[in-house]
Amino acid sequence: MRVAVFGANGPTGRHLTDQALAAGHEVVAVTRRPGSLPARPGLTVAVADATDPAAVDAALGGTDAVLSALGSRFSKETITTYSASATAITGAMARHGIKRLLTVSSSIADPDWRPTGAHFFNHVLDPLVNRRLGHTLHEDMRRMETVIRQTNLDWTLVRPSGLFEHPTVTDYHTAATSADGVFTARVDLAASMLRELEERRYICTAMGVITTTVKPNIAKLIWNEGVKKK
């Protein structure tokens, strides 16, 4: 399959690109920063801001499916990256007749999801990071989900929990709507999206994905995701 990957130079997008190429797909890596992606067999780099409808339209010509791992940083200001990119991507897909879309969202986008982790996560990290600092981001993620739900595409909203780095794919768990767990390795998130591309178990619904067999070190997680990534 020829798949477009949005956010291809981001941490999840890199796993998606590597795993898709390894699985024998051709990848069109869509990015604002082409220099960040080294040339490899099977990889085409398309330069586009994902919120620019004309640029997205040009990038998607000739692709069979779209995988998006786009993301934005937390901000006090209104965030529109998720909803604006969803509008541009779904519009271009409709014009090109591309039906299959898998987009990364979050467990937080499920209004009924509640963390069932350790006390510190449930009572400190989740309320402070997800609900307060991440408020505007998650508002826009919900707008993105609404944009996608209103299309006639074969969409899947992929909802991971707190992301962390792990070197190898684990025996991750998926569930309809959202999954009961607080962490997801990015490598598992990417693997679940590529498996769902083949299996089509969660068409026109949300798929939760969590990692259960390994856990991140919380201090490392806060350093990597909250401090180093900025």
Ligand X SMILES: NC(=O)c1ccc[n+]([C@@H]2O[C@H](COP(=O)([O-])OP(=O)(O)OC[C@H]3O[C@@H](n4cnc5c(N)ncnc54)[C@H](OP(=O)(O)O)[C@@H]3O)[C@@H](O)[C@H]2O)c1
The residue count for binding ligand X (CB under 6 A) is 24
Choose between 4 and 152: whose C-beta lies nearer to ligand X: 4
Contact between 181 and ligand X (CB under 6 A)? no
Kindly tell me which residue out of 53, 115, 160, 208 binds ligand X, with binding defined by CB under 6 A: 160
The owner of tokens 């997205």 is 56
Which one, 115 or 162, has the nearer CB to ligand X? 162
Q: Binder to ligand X among 4, 11, 20, 194 (CB under 6 A)? A: 11
**Residue (103 or 151) nearer to ligand X, CB:** 103
Contacts with ligand X, 85-104, as mask; x by CB under 6 A: -------------------x
Stretch binding ligand X (CB under 6 A), from 4-12, 112-120, 190-198, 200-208: 4-12
Of 10-18, 117-125, 148-156, 210-218, which part binds ligand X (CB under 6 A)?
10-18
Return the number of the residue (10 or 53) whose C-beta is nearest ligand X.
10
The candidate with the shortest Cα–Cα distance to 86, out of 25, 155, 28, 136, is 155
Q: In b/e form, how buried is each residue of 108-121, taking b as 16+ CB within 10 angstroms?
A: bbbeebebebeeeb
Residue 24 or 76: the one with the smaller Cβ distance to ligand X is 76
Interaction between residue 37 and ligand X (CB under 6 A): no
**Contacts to ligand X by CB under 6 A:** 7, 9-13, 31-33, 49-51, 69-72, 81, 104, 106, 160, 162-163, 186, 225
